[in-house]
């Protein structure tokens, strides 16, 4: 018999905003981070409630792991958790919520409970340790008393607990979930709802989670979704998404492979044969004022990709430059009201004369 009690410096009211869903999510995360295959069971008990069991075949917990900050995952980029708090806080919340919880830890059984501490004048989380009647291999968390709604919430939080996740596109950095609009998962665990058109299940080493593991840096995330789409090789589809302003590929304007640029060029040409791209409304007005008829403003991001493509640049390189009269008229339309009235007639005469001017060719 072990018969030990471990007192943790965790007050009963710690993380008051956490509920059952957040606590169970932490236990699932630990199981996903384990070197063992992810194994779970959800059993219906005689009282109609459910017991969740999470099993890690090759894992065990040492008393040292009960210390806040103690973790073996701090430097593990491919793990979701790294702060050394998760399962201890999960035990605290589940016990506070009145759900019977225990850990089969090798030949030891751990049960959390609250005990008043005279030293701290508060109820603290404690772990009662006893021997297992039959030694148990590996590590098993058991959470009892879950109702059907809570079980459904648990399943929703973890892709590995779901039978159907819909169509996906696999990439080296994770999966694009084509039928999970805006849902972000990391390592199979739900993180948050986003503004993206598609869902993503990202490998942990490719994204940094905030401390609460419910938020991510928006710049990093949008750069990641852009790169994941690039990795699919679906360049024509990506071009259509860029043209439509889909946020998943918004950052394509900062960095795009030539094949994406060419796909944007082909899409533009299919809709606007012979047209010139303006990068802004101001440039659009200037080009129209210079006499150009086929000028299209298609948005800064999409337009810059079209203009920087090899196909478009080769067209512009052989296109004839604006005639002198067109350039004079463009300048006149912008400057005429800033010119002294006495000088306008002479410039208008010069403007008429420019109709017969031609550009001199360099030798």
Mean pLDDT computed over every residue of the chain: 86
pLDDT tens-digit series, residues 273-311: 888 888 777 777 777 776 676 888 888 889 999 999 999
Confidence of residue 252 (pLDDT cuts 50, 70, 90): very high
Residue 319 has pLDDT above 80, yes or no: no
* Token pair in block for residue 269: 């040409």
Q: Largest Cα–Cα distance of the chain, in whole Å?
A: 109
Sort strands 122-131 and 174-177 into parallel, antiparallel or unpaired.
unpaired
Please say which residue of 104, 135, 161 terminates a domain: 161
Q: Are residues 247 and 107 in the same domain?
A: no
In the prediction, which pLDDT does 344 show?
78
Q: Are residues 247 and 228 in the same domain?
A: no
In the prediction, which pLDDT does 77 show?
40
Q: Are residues 138 and 78 in the same domain?
A: yes
Per the CB < 8 A criterion, the answer to whether 29 and 90 are in contact is no
Residue 212's alpha-carbon distances to 10, 81, 203, 324, in angstroms, are 17, 10, 18, 63
Residue 203's alpha-carbon distances to 158, 189, 197, 248, in angstroms, are 14, 10, 19, 17
Burial code (b: 16+ CB inside 10 Å, e: under 16) for 214-234 equals: eebeeeebbbbbbbbbbeeeb
Asked if residue 153 belongs to a domain, the reply is yes
The domain in which residue 29 lies consists of 4-161
Residue 209's alpha-carbon distances to 19, 77, 175, 187, 251, in angstroms, are 20, 11, 17, 12, 20
Q: Are residues 157 and 11 in the same domain?
A: yes
Helix axes 20-33, 86-96, angle to 10 degrees: 150
Asked if residue 108 belongs to a domain, the reply is yes
Helix H or strand E encompassing 211: none
Over residues 172-178, the mean pLDDT reads 98
Q: Are residues 157 and 60 in the same domain?
A: yes
Q: Are residues 209 and 121 in the same domain?
A: no
Q: Are residues 146 and 198 in the same domain?
A: no
pLDDT tens-digit series, residues 192-227: 999 999 999 999 999 987 766 667 888 899 999 999
Task: Pick the closest to residue 350 from 326, 325, 333 (CA basis).
Answer: 325
Asked if residue 237 belongs to a domain, the reply is no
Asked if residue 284 belongs to a domain, the reply is yes
Q: Are residues 256 and 206 in the same domain?
A: no
Q: Are residues 218 and 256 in the same domain?
A: no
E-assigned strand segments in 121-205? 122-131, 139-146, 168-171, 174-177, 183-186, 189-193, 199-202
pLDDT tens-digit series, residues 98-134: 999 999 998 899 999 999 999 999 999 999 999 988 7
* pTM for the predicted model, two decimal places: 0.76
Sort strands 183-186 and 174-177 into parallel, antiparallel or unpaired.
unpaired
In the prediction, which pLDDT does 359 show?
57
Over residues 178-196, the mean pLDDT reads 94
Which residues, 6 or more positions from 327, have their beta carbon under 8 angstroms from its beta carbon?
A: 290
Q: Are residues 126 and 24 in the same domain?
A: yes
Number of domains forming the structure of the chain: 4
Asked if residue 361 belongs to a domain, the reply is no
Q: Are residues 74 and 97 in the same domain?
A: yes
Task: Pick the closest to residue 150 from 290, 50, 68, 245 (CA basis).
Answer: 50
Please say which residue of 129, 161, 193 terminates a domain: 161
Sign of CA dihedral 316, 319, 321, 326: negative
pLDDT tens-digit series, residues 71-105: 554 444 444 443 347 899 999 999 999 999 999 99
Asked if residue 362 belongs to a domain, the reply is no
CATH of residue 149: 3.30.565
Q: Are residues 208 and 253 in the same domain?
A: no
In the prediction, which pLDDT does 2 show?
55
Asked if residue 102 belongs to a domain, the reply is yes
Residue 326 has pLDDT above 80, yes or no: no
Asked if residue 363 belongs to a domain, the reply is no
- Residue pointed to by tokens 């101001």: 282
């Amino acid at each position: 018999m072990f018969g030990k009690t471990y007192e943790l410096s965790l007050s009963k009211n710690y993380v008051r905003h956490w509920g059952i869903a957040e606590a169970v999510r932490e236990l699932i995360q630990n199981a996903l981070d384990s070197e063992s295959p992810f194994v779970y069971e959800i059993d219906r008990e005689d009282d109609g409630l459910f017991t969740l069991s999470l099993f890690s075949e090759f894992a065990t917990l040492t008393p040292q792991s009960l210390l806040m900050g103690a973790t073996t995952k701090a430097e593990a980029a491919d793990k979701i958790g790294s702060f050394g708090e998760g399962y201890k806080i999960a035990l605290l919340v589940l016990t506070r919520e009145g759900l019977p919880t225990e850990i089969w830890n090798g030949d030891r059984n751990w049960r959390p409970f609250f005990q008043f501490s005279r030293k701290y004048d508060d109820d603290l989380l404690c772990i009662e340790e006893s021997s297992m009647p039959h030694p148990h291999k590996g590590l098993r968390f058991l959470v009892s008393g879950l109702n059907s709604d809570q079980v459904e919430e648990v399943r929703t939080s973890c892709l590995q607990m779901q039978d159907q996740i819909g169509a996906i596109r696999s990439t080296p950095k994770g999966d694009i979930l084509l039928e999970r609009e805006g849902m972000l998962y990391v390592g199979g665990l739900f993180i948050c709802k986003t503004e993206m058109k598609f869902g993503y299940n990202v490998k942990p080493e490719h994204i940094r989670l905030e401390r609460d593991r419910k938020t991510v840096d928006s710049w990093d995330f949008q750069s990641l979704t852009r790169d994941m789409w690039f990795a699919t090789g679906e360049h024509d589809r990506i071009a259509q998404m860029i043209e439509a302003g889909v946020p998943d590929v918004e950052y394509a304007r900062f960095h795009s492979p030539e094949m994406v640029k060419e796909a944007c060029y082909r899409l533009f040409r299919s809709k606007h044969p012979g047209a010139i791209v303006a990068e802004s409304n101001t440039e659009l007005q200037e080009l129209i004022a210079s006499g150009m008829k086929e000028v299209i403003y298609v948005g800064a991001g999409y337009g810059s990709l079209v203009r920087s493509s090899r196909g478009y640049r080769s067209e512009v390189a052989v296109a004839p430059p604006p005639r002198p009269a067109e350039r004079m008229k463009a300048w006149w339309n912008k400057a005429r009201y800033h010119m002294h009235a006495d000088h306008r007639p002479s410039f208008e005469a010069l403007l008429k004369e420019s109709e017969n001017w031609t550009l001199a060719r360099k030798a």
